[in-house]
């Protein structure tokens, strides 16, 4: 087994991209420990992360759009909330409710130090690391670069 495939690694927080790379309109793709995720800003401006596959026809959610804080699939227009629940299915009538099984895997996601942090497990081993200098006004936080590999 590759070192990067050890299950315990999913229980840590990882800074995946600067918060400035996310928007209210277009989701961003990212791959973390082999897991493809879609990232966006919800209606409250908080980062959100879900698996990058729609539960309906497995289209890439990162190729969709963000509408009212929900990520919308580019294929049939299903929308998902930050917790992975399906918020809208255009093909359903107003009288039909959305089944609970219509959902995608969501991940813990947070904004800290100007970066989006993601944990692939719902029970992280440790909190996001404390970097006291990053929050101290006597210091200046300089992001050197962001390069997607």
Q: What is the predicted pLDDT for the residue at 62?
A: 97
CA 79 – CA 18 distance, rounded (Å):
24
Rounded to 5°, angle at Cα 42 from 85 and 125? 75
**Residue 50: which of 34, 41, 66, 61 has the closest Cα?**
61
Domains and CATH numbers, the chain: 13-135 (2.102.10.10)
Q: What is the pLDDT of residues 94-112, one digit of tens each?
A: 788 999 999 999 999 999 9
Pairing of the two strands 28-32 and 14-18: unpaired
| pLDDT over 70 at 18, yes or no | yes
How far apart CA 60 and CA 129 sit, in angstroms, is 31
The reported pTM is 0.89
């Amino acid at each position: 087994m590759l070192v990067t495939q050890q299950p315990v690694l999913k229980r840590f927080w990882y800074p995946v991209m600067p918060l400035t790379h996310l928007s209210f309109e277009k989701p961003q793709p990212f791959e973390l420990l082999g897991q493809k995720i879609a990232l966006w800003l919800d209606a409250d401006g908080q980062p959100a992360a879900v698996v990058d596959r729609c539960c309906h026809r497995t289209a890439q959610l990162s190729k969709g759009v963000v509408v009212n804080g929900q990520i919308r699939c580019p294929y049939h227009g299903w929308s998902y909330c930050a917790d992975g629940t399906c918020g809208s299915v255009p093909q359903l009538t107003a009288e039909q409710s959305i089944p609970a099984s219509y959902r995608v895997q969501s991940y813990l996601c947070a904004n800290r130090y100007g970066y989006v942090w993601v944990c692939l497990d719902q029970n992280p081993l440790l909190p996001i690391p404390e970097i006291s200098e990053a929050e101290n006004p006597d210091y200046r936080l300089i992001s050197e670069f962001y390069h997607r590999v």
